[in-house]
Amino acid sequence: MAEALRVGIAGLGTVGASVARVLRDKAAELTRQCGRDIVVSAVSARDPKRDRGVDLNAAKWFDDPVKMAQAAEIDVFVELIGGDEGPAFAAVKTALEAGRHVVTANKALLAKHGVALAEIAEKKGVLLNYEAAVAGGIPVIKTMREAMAGNSVTRVFGILNGTCNYILTRMEAEGISFDACLKDAQRLGYAEADPTFDIEGHDTAHKLSILTSLAFGTKIAANDIYMEGISNITQADIRAAGDLGYRIKLLGVAQRTESGIEQRVHPTMVPTASVIAQVHGVINAVAIETDILGELLLSGPGAGGNATASAVIGDIADIAKSRPGFQHGPVFGRPARELKPYKKAQMRSHAGGYFIRLTVHDRIGVFAAIAKRMADNDISLESIVQHAISGEAAAQKTVILVTHETTEAAVRKAVDGITKDGHLTDKPQVIRIERAG
Ligand SMILES: NC(=O)c1ccc[n+]([C@@H]2O[C@H](COP(=O)([O-])OP(=O)(O)OC[C@H]3O[C@@H](n4cnc5c(N)ncnc54)[C@H](OP(=O)(O)O)[C@@H]3O)[C@@H](O)[C@H]2O)c1
C-alpha cells in the first residue's frame, strides 16, 4: 500500500473538529476508497487546551498555522480558520509555496485571493481544493469543474445562504416579520450575532464570485457584484408574491449577456412551481444552465459541521488518490493565468420581469399617473392591481404591478417618475423576477 497521506488541520472549530472526527470514524472506509491511510499528523488552533470532542494527541500541535503549513510532518494543509487575510491567507500561501496540497472551506479567502493562490498551486503542481467553500456539502465545484467538461454555461444561480433562506421560509410559512424571524434564527444558532454579512448578501456574493469564475473562465471579481439583501422584505411582499404565483428567495445569479457578465445578489421572485422554489429552510441549491446539458439543479445542506466536513474530506480523498507527477487539472477549470478579465454587464441593462409594490394616496388620478409613467418608459404590464388598505391607513392604497420583460433602467426611471409625482406615501418596493424551471 502507498504511504499514508499526512494531513495538517488548521482551525478546530465547527468544521475542523468535524473533519478530524469523521477522518477518525471513517478511517477504514477511506483507506479502502483511497488505497492508502489518511492520518491527521498535525493540528493548529488558538487554544491548545480546549476539548475538541476528538482525541488529537497523536497529532503534533502548532500554535502558528504558518509554521504548520511548511512543516515536514504534513502533505496536505487543511485551512479551516476563516477570514480573507491574517493567518488563513498567510498559511495557505505558505503551504502552496512549500509544495503542500491545500484544502480550504474559506470562500472569503478565495473571493479575494483565489486567482493568485491558484497561480501558485498550478506553478508548484499541487492541488488547491475548495469544494466546501461554495454551498457547503453540495458538490458543485466538482460538478462544474469535472463533470461538465465541454459544456458552455449560460447562467448559474442559487440559494447560497442558509440563514436568508431560513428567514424567508419562516416569514412565508408563519406570516411573521423579518425582525422576528431573524431573532429566532439567532436564538437557534442559524444566524450570527452580527447577521449583516449573511442578511445583506455578502456571503452569497463571495460564493457567487467563485461560481462565476468557474462558469465563464473569468478572474474572480467579488467586489463588482450588484448586491441587495433581504432586510427590506415585508409580509406585504411575501403575500403579494404568493397571490401572483411566486415565492421570494435570495438568489445569487451569474449570467452571460450581450454586454458582459451579470453578477447579482438580490431578493428574487421565482415561480412557486419551479424546483428552486421548493428549497426550504437552511438548505442550499445551485442551478447550472448549459448548452449541452440544459438545466441541472443540485440541492442539499449548505452549512454545518458534518455537511461541510463531507466536502472537505472529499477534497482530501482526491489528493490521497492523486499520484506524484500526475498533471492536476487547473483550480478554476482553466489555467489561472488564462482566466479572462471579468467584463461587467451594467445593472441598468439587466433585462427581466419586475414586481413593483407602491403605497399611494387614495385619490383620483393616481392609478392613471402610474400607468402613464410605465407607458412613457415602454414598460408593458402583465398585471396591475390595487388594494384598499383598511384601518389607520385607510387614506392609502397598495398598487402592485408586474411587468413583462423590460430593463432595469426603464423600471428605475418609471419608479423615480412616480416618486417625483408625489403620489407615494412609502418607499417603493421593486423585486426582480427570475426565470426558473
Ligand atoms: N460553519 C459552517 O457551517 C461552514 C460552512 C462552509 C464553510 N465554512 C468555512 O469554514 C471555515 C471555518 O468555519 P468554522 O465555522 O469552523 O469556524 P469556527 O468554528 O469559528 O472555527 C475557527 C477555528 O479557527 C481557529 N483559529 C482562529 N484563529 C486562529 C489562528 N490565528 N491560528 C490558528 N487557529 C485559529 C479557532 O481556534 P480556537 O478554537 O482555539 O478558538 C477555531 O478552532 C470558514 O472559512 C468558514 O467560512 C464554514
Q: Tell the residue nearest (CA) to atom 20 of ligand 1.
A: 13
Q: Are 162 and 195 within 8 A, CB to CB?
A: no
- Which positions ≥6 away from 204 have C-beta within 8 Å? 160, 161, 164, 250, 251, 252, 265
- What pLDDT shows up at residue 199? 97
Which ligand 1 atom sits nearest the alpha carbon of residue 47?
A: 40
- What pLDDT shows up at residue 179? 96
Q: How many CB atoms lie within 10 A of CB 115?
A: 18
Q: Tell the residue nearest (CA) to atom 23 of ligand 1.
A: 11
Q: Which tens digits make up the pLDDT trace of 151-192?
A: 999 999 999 999 999 999 999 999 999 999 999 999 988 888
Q: Which tens digits make up the pLDDT trace of 65-112?
A: 999 999 999 999 999 999 999 999 999 999 999 999 999 999 999 999
- Measured CA to CA in angstroms, residue 406 lies from 53, 274, 348, 349 at distances of 55, 22, 11, 9
Nearest to 221 by CA among 341, 311, 317, 129: 341
- What pLDDT shows up at residue 165? 97
- What pLDDT shows up at residue 393? 62
Question: Between 435 and 390, where is the model more confident?
Answer: 435
Which ligand 1 atom sits nearest the alpha carbon of residue 16?
A: 16
Q: Which tens digits make up the pLDDT trace of 140-157?
A: 999 999 999 999 999 999
Which ligand 1 atom sits nearest the alpha carbon of residue 82?
A: 45
Residue 391, pLDDT > 80, answer no
Q: Which tens digits make up the pLDDT trace of 339-353?
A: 999 999 999 999 999
Q: Taking residues 10-32, report their average pLDDT.
A: 97
For residues 256 and 252, give the distance between their C-alpha atoms in angstroms, rounded to a whole number: 14
For residues 342 and 339, give the distance between their C-alpha atoms in angstroms, rounded to a whole number: 9
For residues 239 and 384, give the distance between their C-alpha atoms in angstroms, rounded to a whole number: 15
Q: Are 436 and 275 within 8 A, CB to CB?
A: yes
| Cα 293 → chain centroid | 22
Question: Between 326 and 288, where is the model more confident?
Answer: 288
Pocket of ligand 1, candidates 80, 94, 109, 141: which has the most ligand atoms within 8 Å of its Cβ, to mutate? 80
- What pLDDT shows up at residue 328? 77
Q: Taking residues 271-280, report their average pLDDT.
A: 97
- What pLDDT shows up at residue 388? 79
Residue 261, pLDDT > 70, answer yes
pLDDT over 90, % of the chain: 93
Give the distance (Å) from ligand 1 centre to CA of residue 13: 5
Cell numbers at 232, concatenated = 427590506
Long-range contacts of 57-61 (CB under 8 A, 24+ apart): 59/8, 59/9
Cell numbers at 124, concatenated = 508548484
Average pLDDT across the chain, whole number: 95
Pocket of ligand 1, candidates 9, 22, 46: which has the most ligand atoms within 8 Å of its Cβ, to mutate? 46
- What pLDDT shows up at residue 252? 98
Main-chain dihedrals φ then ψ at residue 435, nearest 5 degrees: -70, 130
Give the distance (Å) from ligand 1 centre to CA of residue 45: 9
- What pLDDT shows up at residue 89? 98
Q: Which tens digits make up the pLDDT trace of 407-421?
A: 999 999 999 999 999
Residues with CB under 6 A from ligand 1: 10-16, 44-47, 50, 65, 80-82, 87, 105-107, 132, 136, 303-304, 308
pLDDT band at 392 (very low <50, low <70, confident <90, very high): low
Which ligand 1 atom sits nearest the alpha carbon of residue 18?
A: 16
* pTM for this predicted structure: 0.96
Residue 48, pLDDT > 80, answer yes
Segments in 330-426 forming alpha helices (H)? 366-376, 408-421
For residues 32 and 267, give the distance between their C-alpha atoms in angstroms, rounded to a whole number: 45
Q: Tell the residue nearest (CA) to atom 21 of ligand 1.
A: 13
Give the distance (Å) from ligand 1 centre to CA of residue 380: 50
Give the distance (Å) from ligand 1 centre to CA of residue 405: 44
Pocket of ligand 1, candidates 79, 308, 313: which has the most ligand atoms within 8 Å of its Cβ, to mutate? 308
- Which positions ≥6 away from 18 have C-beta within 8 Å? 305, 306, 308, 309
Which ligand 1 atom sits nearest the alpha carbon of residue 87?
A: 31
Residues labelled catalytic: 207
Q: Are 255 and 294 within 8 A, CB to CB?
A: no
- What pLDDT shows up at residue 371? 94
Q: How many CB atoms lie within 10 A of CB 191?
A: 21
Which ligand 1 atom sits nearest the alpha carbon of residue 136?
A: 6
pLDDT band at 292 (very low <50, low <70, confident <90, very high): very high
Pocket of ligand 1, candidates 64, 81, 315: which has the most ligand atoms within 8 Å of its Cβ, to mutate? 81
For residues 9 and 6, give the distance between their C-alpha atoms in angstroms, rounded to a whole number: 10
Residue 13, pLDDT > 70, answer yes
For the chain, the first-to-last Cα distance in angstroms comes to 48
Give the distance (Å) from ligand 1 centre to CA of residue 165: 23
Give the distance (Å) from ligand 1 centre to CA of residue 246: 37
Give the distance (Å) from ligand 1 centre to CA of residue 309: 12
- What pLDDT shows up at residue 329? 87
For residues 95 and 129, give the distance between their C-alpha atoms in angstroms, rounded to a whole number: 13
